[in-house]
Structure 1
Amino acid sequence: MEPTILQGYELAKQLYAKHGIDVDQALRQLEKIKISVHCWQGDDVKGFLFRDQELTGGISVTGNYPGAARTPQELRMDLEEAFRLIPGKHKVNLHAIYADTQEKPDLDELEPRHFEPWVAWAREQGLGLDFNPTCFSHEKSKDGFTLSHPDPDIRKFWIEHCKASRRISAYFGEQLGQTCVTNVWVPDGYKDVPVDRMSPRIRLKESLDEVFAEPLNPAHHLDAVESKLFGIGSEAYVVGSHEFYMGYGLQNNKLICLDAGHFHPTETISNKLSSLALFAEGLLLHVSRPMRWDSDHVVVMDDELLDIGRELVRGGLLEKTHIGLDFFDASINRVAAWVIGTRNTLKALLRAFLEPVDELKKAELDGDYTARLALTEEFKAYPFGAVWDYYCASQGVPVRETWLEQVRTYEREVLSKREQAAAPAQL
């Protein structure tokens, strides 16, 4: 380790210690955090089952940066490169369309064996896996409805797909010894104002009841449900609204997923965490960066990300919160996008661990709002960067922006060559 990094760390420790903050303990806490890194950033949400299928479900990916993964092998290679640049041990979040198999199963026919290469790889890498049924980009979702579809046969197809996804999730958890969170999100909704808002929601509730009917070991598998305010093609009405899933999750003991990009552009999720945590079985976060409409930009360390970190730490919510990422940007290097977003999420949590929370709470309880404001503002300039640099160095990953050169080397030696050749056949 460079002497300057160690010196900076020791000086930072002394400053933080004056307020009773144990920096070493903060890093031990950070090391326990597992971020669920979403695989779909690596190939623009195409997957491997139906690669020629148009991307639907209110989802859009813009940009044509070279080097998108074309096979499961390439995607795993890219994820490995990203994890070399991210401190800690984490998880990978898979969608059902990322099955790695020479078979041609439809979504309702998927079984754990279709993901065995992912399990073997995750075990080898020391990673956990999370999962999602893919209720979009399919012939039977082209009219915008899945679990709430008025046609019972189509609805049954999606119910069976979600059931299969839960069994795959339980297999992941059992094999890897890390609980797999499976998140159900469906794009169902109308572009214009509907006459009947109730009937689709009744059908969705009944479908979910059937999906979740099979009991599974919570040590291996946990269910989550995710809402959305609007999407492309469902601007006026989404069946699975926030209120719908909040009620369903609370009534049925499911994790409630809050996606930072699924609310009104001026609405934030950080303020919702403490309220939901009081009543919910647990929380799942999809950390993203909304920018008008339903865009999922690469996570930056903005005020909302910092507030999410603070709420999780100040409220003691980390034990019941699962943190995942959800963004897809094809206008920049995809490996870099993973690295930037994951490192920023970890930085936000570290900054929260390095706050004098007990001191701030005491000032607030005593009515000393002057001290509360003064300390909160002064700590924004405290040297958390020196602590972060030490953490990266101690974890064997690049310090500060030096990781970017490694990504550029990988781009020259690996990613750019993908544009020069046809996609290889899957092994």
Structure 2
Amino acid sequence: MTIRENYAYAKAAYEKWGISVDEVLEKLKMIPISIHCWQGDDIGGFEVNRNELSGGIDVTGNYPGKASTPEELRSDLEKALSLIPGKHRVNLHSIYAETAGEAVERDQLEPKHFEQWVSWAKENGLGLDFNPTLFAHPKADDGLTLAHPDREIREFWIRHCIASRRIAEYFGKELGTPALTNIWIPDGYKDIPSDRLTPRQRLKESLDKIFAVAIDEAYNLDAIESKLFGIGSEAYVVGSHEFYLGYALKNNKLCLLDTGHFHPTEAVSNKISSMLLYSDKLALHVSRPVRWDSDHVVILDDELREIAHEIVRNDALDKVMIGLDFFDASINRVAAWVIGTRNMLKALLYALLTPAKQLKALQEEGNFTERLALMEEFKTYPFGAVWDYYCETMGVPTREAWLDDIKTYEKAVLSLRS
């Protein structure tokens, strides 16, 4: 059977449950995924004085073809985007500034250092998101930044975060879609602290100063990201989930949930509905932890599907900003983007093709037998046929055919890089 014949069969199966597959695909087209630029160069960035990774961040592997210039990174992103259906966003860190060979300190960064990114985004119809980079810097060597006991160091990072918000505002104005500025800090201690409160007081004061600078929310949305532990901060992280959740709710900021930043037995999918009761919006960094926050490429596993279900069944597609955050240098970096982003979209499609209203009604009626039976049966409904049709109609390769494009690109482009 052809892709269109398979689609017709699948469409009929879903429409028996009142699911309009055509409407589902139109809805899927409108969901942007924020694709992280740092997968393409192992979080290297383009600072004139580059520093080793720190803050518990590590990238393993040495697959050939890593991007080493802005042009190479944008070329790789274009190749990945050409193999992913839909229109999406690109997420930048401040270390991806282009300063024409001039050493510019992070607290002195300006919109002009990202003009080429904005021009490229306009050409490709993309939105941009942003992150201040509070790691891989001499002023972060001891694992403390916004919570540092040294006021001068704190003030440096405060200025950097304010500069980052202004850059994101510039993105929003130029591209007509607000940028998400997400603040993550590595601050914490390797061993048991004797005082947990004081660093958190300093972090709160630093955030208050950062957000005291007015930035138009029509162009920039502020998010703060928690973590359970990190390499070098195993015993205590200043910016815990409880800290940031409380701060976000009190100060009307977005709380960003990274799927690798919690205890191994915690499910981020289970947090989404609770947070939506109290927050108009929330943000996600979707990753895949393997035993620790190791940021593996996203696969179509149970948790990814459940995250998508929670977003879709709660009618929150316009409330949850979905971004990706993984870095794997052991495989083709462009392929990693394609695999992870396509899987995020597959999970959303899978959720959109589930009879959520009927399943909710069965739960309310106490009909748990039928609820369980249907949830299990829909796991083998022909959603793959709908995905293939979607890819074909969106002009990207179906099934594993995209790998041929990656192999050609690797041979013609990546393999020639030193």
Same fold at TM > 0.5:
yes
Cα shift readout 1:225-246 (whole Å, capped 9, x = no counterpart): 0000000100000000000000
Instruction: Indicate the residue corresponding to 1:107 in structure 2.
Output: 106
1:377 corresponding residue in structure 2? 376
Number of the residue aligned with 1:59: 57
Q: Does the residue aligned with 2:17 lie in a helix, a strand or coil?
A: coil
Alignment match, 1:44: 42
The answer for the alignment partner of 2:153 in structure 1 is 154
1:63 & 1:365 partners in 2: Cα distance?
49
Report SS of the residue matched to 2:55: coil
CA distance in structure 2 between the aligned counterparts of 1:256 and 1:130, rounded to whole angstroms: 15
Number of the residue aligned with 1:422? none
Confirm or deny: 8 A CA contact 1:144 1:187 kept in the other structure: yes
Structure 1 residue matching 2:303: 3-state secondary structure: helix
**Residues 67 and 51 from structure 1, CA distance in 2 versus in 1: closer, same or farther, beyond 3 angstroms?**
farther
**Counterpart in the other structure of 1:97:** 95
Please give the per-residue CA displacement for 1:26-79, whole angstroms capped at 9, x wherever unaligned. Answer: 101100100000000000001001564110011000000000000000000000
1:70 aligns with: 68
2:324 match: 325
1:21 pairs, out of 12, 19, 22, with 19
- Where 2:212 maps in the other structure, the secondary structure is coil
Query: Does 2:396 align with 1:397?
Result: yes
Moved more, 280-289 or 50-59: 50-59
Deviations 1:119-160 (A, max 9, x none): 000000000000000000001000100000000000000000
Q: CA deviation at 1:367?
A: 1.2
Q: State the alpha-carbon separation in 2 of the partners of residues 173 and 42 from structure 1.
A: 24
Contact 2:312–2:352 under 8 Å retained in 1: yes
How far off its partner does 1:101 sit? 2.2
**Native 8 Å contact 2:224 2:256 kept in 1:** yes
The correspondence of residues 315-354 of structure 1 with structure 2, limited to 5 A, is 315-354=314-353
Structure 2 partner of 1:358: 357
Structure 2 SS opposite 1:203: helix
Are the equivalent residues in 1 in contact too, given 2:48–2:103 (CA < 8 A)? Answer: no
Which structure 2 residues correspond to residues 231-380 of structure 1 after superposition, within 5 A?
231-380=230-379
Q: What is the CA distance between 1:281 and its match in structure 2?
A: 3.6
Q: What is the correspondence of 1:111-130 to structure 2 with a 5 Å cutoff?
A: 111-130=110-129
TM-score (norm 1): 0.97
> Which SS does the other structure have where 2:186 is aligned?
coil
Question: Is residue 49–residue 103 contact of structure 2 (8 Å, CA) maintained in 1?
Answer: no
Distance 1:201 1:336, change over 3 A: same
**Following TM superposition, by how much is the alpha carbon of 1:215 offset from its aligned partner in structure 2, in angstroms?**
1.8
Provide the residue aligned with 1:202 in structure 2: 201
The ranges of structure 1 where at least 4 consecutive aligned residues each deviate by more than 4 angstroms after the TM superposition are none
Encode CA deviations 1:153-212: one digit per residue, 9 max, x unaligned. Answer: 000000000000000000000000011000000000000011010000000000000001
Asked if the contact 2:55/2:135 (under 8 Å) is kept, the reply is yes
What amino acid maps onto 1:155 in structure 2?
R
1:174-253 alignment, distance < 5 Å: 174-253=173-252
Deviates more, 1:43-52 or 1:183-192: 43-52
SS at match of 2:34: strand
The 1:36/1:84 distance shift into structure 2, 3 A limit, reads same
User: What SS is found at the alignment partner of 2:133?
Assistant: coil
The alpha carbon displacement at 1:251 in A equals 0.3
Q: d(CA) in 2 for partners of 1:349 and 1:336?
A: 20
Matched residue pairs, number?
Answer: 417
Structure 2 gap ranges (5+):
none
Which amino acid in the other structure matches residue 370 of structure 1?
Answer: T
Q: Deviations over 1:313-368 (max 9, x none)?
A: 01112111100000000000000000000000000000000001111111111111
Equivalent pair of 1:9/1:390 in contact (CA under 8 Å): yes
Deviation at 1:376, TM superposition (A): 0.5
The 3-state SS of whatever aligns with 1:290 is: strand
Give, in whole Å, the separation in 1 of the partners of 2:181 and 2:49. Answer: 22
Structure 1 residue 408: deviation in Å? Answer: 0.7
Partner of 1:31: 29
Question: For the residues of structure 2 that align with 1:200 and 1:391, how far apart are their CA atoms?
Answer: 50
Looking at structure 2, the residues matched to 372 and 113 of structure 1 have their Cα atoms a distance apart, in angstroms, of: 55
The one-letter amino acid of 1:30's match is L
Distance 2:269 2:207 in 1: 27
Distance 1:130 1:85 in 2: 21
Residue aligning to 1:173: 172
Question: Structure 2 counterpart of 1:379, which letter?
Answer: F
Contact kept, 8 Å, 1:254 with 1:281, in 2: the verdict is no
Q: Which amino acid aligns with 1:26?
A: V
**In structure 2, C-alpha distance between the alignment counterparts of 1:50 and 1:264, rounded to whole Å:** 37
Name the SS for the 1:279 alignment partner: coil
Q: Which of 35-44 and 315-324 deviates more? A: 315-324
Identity of aligned residues (%): 65
- SS of the residue corresponding to residue 318 of structure 1 reads coil
CA distance in structure 2 between the partners assigned to 1:151 and 1:280 by the alignment: 34
Which position in structure 2 is the counterpart of 1:423? none
Asked if the contact 1:50–1:97 (Cα under 8 Å) also holds between the matched residues in 2, the reply is no
Q: What code does the residue aligned with 2:289 have?
A: P
Q: Distance in 2 between matches of 1:209 and 1:316?
A: 32
CA distance in 2, matches of 1:164, 1:59: 23
> Are 2:70 and 1:81 equivalent residues in the alignment?
no
CA distance in 1: counterparts of 2:218 and 2:393, whole angstroms: 31
Q: Distance in 1 between matches of 2:126 and 2:292?
A: 33
| Deviation per residue, 1:351-397 (Å, 9 max, x gap) | 00000111111111111111101111000010000000010000000
| Unmatched tracts of structure 1, length 5 or more | 420-427
In structure 2, give the amino acid aligned to 1:100. Answer: E
Contact 1:35/1:325 (8 A) holds in 2: yes
Aligned to 1:387: 386
Alpha-carbon distance, 1:11 to partner: 1.0
